[in-house]
Amino acid sequence: MRGPDCAKKQRELTHEPFFTGSSRGLPKTCFHIFISPPLEPTVMKPESATILEEFLRHSDTMTSEIEQDAEEMLGVVPFIFRTLKERPHLFVLSALADFLACRPESLDAKTAELVAMTAAAASNAPDCLRVHIAAARKEGASREEIRDCLVIASVIGKTAVQARSLRIFEEQLGY
């Protein structure tokens, strides 16, 4: 939707929040979000493109709020934010999707951080591991809980290396 049709549709839209999150709450940035350039209608349905345009219109200004939310939640602004925010639309969508994935309603914050920390360890992602150990501590995880999750991650990591390596070994040398 371009030109007069797009402008008309944008005037018709209200600036009311259309995504209010769950009872656990979402980052405050979800509530005052307003893309340019407009998305081509061939990319998605025009109605969806209009909604997305409305959502991302102010993504440039949202990046600092997302950083503040991340620092409050994790105790640090993730290193990757520095580069990702060079593309504000992608950054906003990615950061909010990550938040929703890492803070599901079915898990309390401590458990979610222990899971994220364990996944970071098993994925051999030391920077993420540092962030999520600190965040797990911030959410009340004990030294013992963190240690035991890291032991579980190391078993999974070891098994993944063994399975992959032994499969290639058998493919190359036969069984």
> Tens of pLDDT along 27-52?
433 333 334 455 554 568 888 888 88
Same-domain pairing of 120 and 97? no
Same-domain pairing of 100 and 29? yes
Domain count, the chain: 2
Contacts 24+ apart (CB under 8 A), 47-56: 49/1, 50/1, 50/6, 50/9, 50/10, 50/13, 51/18, 53/10, 54/10, 54/13, 54/18, 55/18, 55/19, 56/89, 56/92, 56/93
Give the domain extent around 37. Answer: 1-106
Span 71-77, mean pLDDT? 89
**pTM for the model:** 0.68
CA distances from 156 to 49, 102, 119, 151, 160 (A): 42, 20, 10, 9, 6
Domain boundary among 106, 138, 156: 106
Same-domain pairing of 8 and 82? yes
**Which one, of 59, 148, 43, lies nearest residue 96 by Cα?**
59
pLDDT at 10 over 90: no
pLDDT at 21 over 70: no
Q: What is the pLDDT of residues 143-164, one digit of tens each?
A: 999 999 999 999 998 998 899 9
Same-domain pairing of 114 and 172? yes
Same-domain pairing of 73 and 124? no
pLDDT band at 58 (very low <50, low <70, confident <90, very high): confident
Same-domain pairing of 44 and 23? yes
Same-domain pairing of 98 and 127? no
Same-domain pairing of 89 and 69? yes
Same-domain pairing of 96 and 34? yes
The dihedral sign for the CA sequence 47, 48, 53, 55? positive
Same-domain pairing of 96 and 164? no
Domain boundary among 78, 106, 134: 106
Domain boundary among 106, 125, 142: 106
pLDDT at 14 over 70: no
Same-domain pairing of 101 and 157? no
Q: Find the Cα–Cα–Cα–Cα dihedral 103, 160, 149, 91, rounded to 10°.
A: -30
Same-domain pairing of 72 and 4? yes
